[in-house]
Amino acid sequence: MAPVPQFIDLPLLIEQRGTISGEFALALMPRLLEITVDDSGSVWFELAFGRDDQGIHCITGQYSVSLQAYCQRCLNPVSLCQSGKICLAVVTDRIRMQELPVHYEPLLHDSGSLSLVMLLEDEILLGLPIAPAHSIAECPSDSLMREYSTVRDTPFTVLKNLKFIK
């Protein structure tokens, strides 16, 4: 199997209605590496380029990635498996962005080559949870939270117990 190019000629692929599929190593995605435990793993993707029925230049497809991030409760590694669909409309200016149908996300790109790695990295980062975490039942911090949690009366419980004199 031929290696996947990191940069593509976007106008040419759209004109030819091309498709690209393959894998990229997570090590090629520096912004994604900032939240991962290590650089092992890869991103699988499948993309189609072309025009839709309205003549809009588009990129559609899907991706799948499995990575290790830090749980924001216990700071231990947590496995995240993410897959998503890509439905982008390639536009050259901000005015055209506002005219797009709602099912498209805009990709502002004027001409020339496009980095597939950055495109996929953007899509993955947008799809990740804001604070990755184990499920509560699986998180090692669950026992600590139960051990150190305190049960307090709410202000309304305190008010209920007050006796008012008439």
Q: Report pTM.
A: 0.78
Please check whether residue 75 lies inside any domain of the structure. Answer: yes
Please check whether residue 99 lies inside any domain of the structure. Answer: yes
H and E: helices and strands count for the chain: 6, 7
- State the total domains in the chain: 1
pLDDT in tens, 11-51: 999 999 999 999 999 999 999 999 899 888 889 999 999 99
Range of the domain at 32: 7-134
Find the mean pLDDT for residues 84-103. Answer: 87
Please check whether residue 152 lies inside any domain of the structure. Answer: no
Please check whether residue 166 lies inside any domain of the structure. Answer: no
Please check whether residue 147 lies inside any domain of the structure. Answer: no
